[in-house]
Amino acid sequence: MSPDDLVLTPTGVRFLGRRFPVAIGQGGVTDDKREGDGATPRGVLRITRMLYRADRLARPVPWAVPIGPCDLWSDDPRDRAYNTAVRAPHPFSHERLGRPDPLYDVVLTTDWNAAPAVPGRGSAIFLHTWRRPRFPTAGCLAFRRDHLLWMLPRLRPGTRVLVR
């Protein structure tokens, strides 16, 4: 374990010597993640990409990729593109990345169930802004906006997220 790791603890996420309040999945933390269970998967996840709404936010770091209204994330286990970014129109079930609310103004994607994705093992485990303090997510880790914005320049692809 390193200070550069984001470590989920019972009192928040520890990162670079600071502790940040966090919201986790409504199903708690699980060792047996399944699509739609609302749980946050236990294990070591790595940050893979940073996506952001260029119409709402300046590019937070050079490696951030802008998203727009046609950007989606496949959450349908029947889809060959399951648990990956896709573009609209898309015939399978998906989540819209360009949401009308601010939850996905910036999104950090993780390598949960990636390369290759196992159908039904869970998709879209992201780090993003919370809806309101500690309000449960569908499995993601969600933070106060100002805390997430503080973290962004200190994160990089490959940063570990330790969920215990």
Query: Quick one: tokens of 91?
Result: 């015939």
Domain that holds residue 93: 6-163
Mean pLDDT score, 117-139: 97
66 lies in a domain? yes
Mean pLDDT score, 145-154: 98
CA torsion sign for 74, 53, 131, 61 is positive
Q: For the chain, where are the alpha helices, taking DSSP H only?
A: 145-151
CA torsion sign for 76, 80, 85, 91 is negative
159 lies in a domain? yes
What's the structural domain count of the chain? 1
Give residue 126's pLDDT.
Answer: 98
Confidence of residue 115 (pLDDT cuts 50, 70, 90): confident
- The CATH number of the domain holding residue 61 is 2.40.440
25 lies in a domain? yes
Query: Is it the case that residue 1 has pLDDT exceeding 90?
Result: no
Confidence of residue 85 (pLDDT cuts 50, 70, 90): very high
105 lies in a domain? yes
131 lies in a domain? yes
The pTM of the full predicted model, rounded to 2 decimals, is: 0.96
158 Rama sector, left if φ>0, alpha if ψ -120 to 50, beta otherwise: left
Give residue 156's pLDDT.
Answer: 97
1 lies in a domain? no
CA 108, 45, 53 angle in degrees (round to 5)?
5
68 lies in a domain? yes
For the chain, percent of residues with pLDDT exceeding 70: 100
Query: Quick one: tokens of 129?
Result: 């802004």
56 lies in a domain? yes
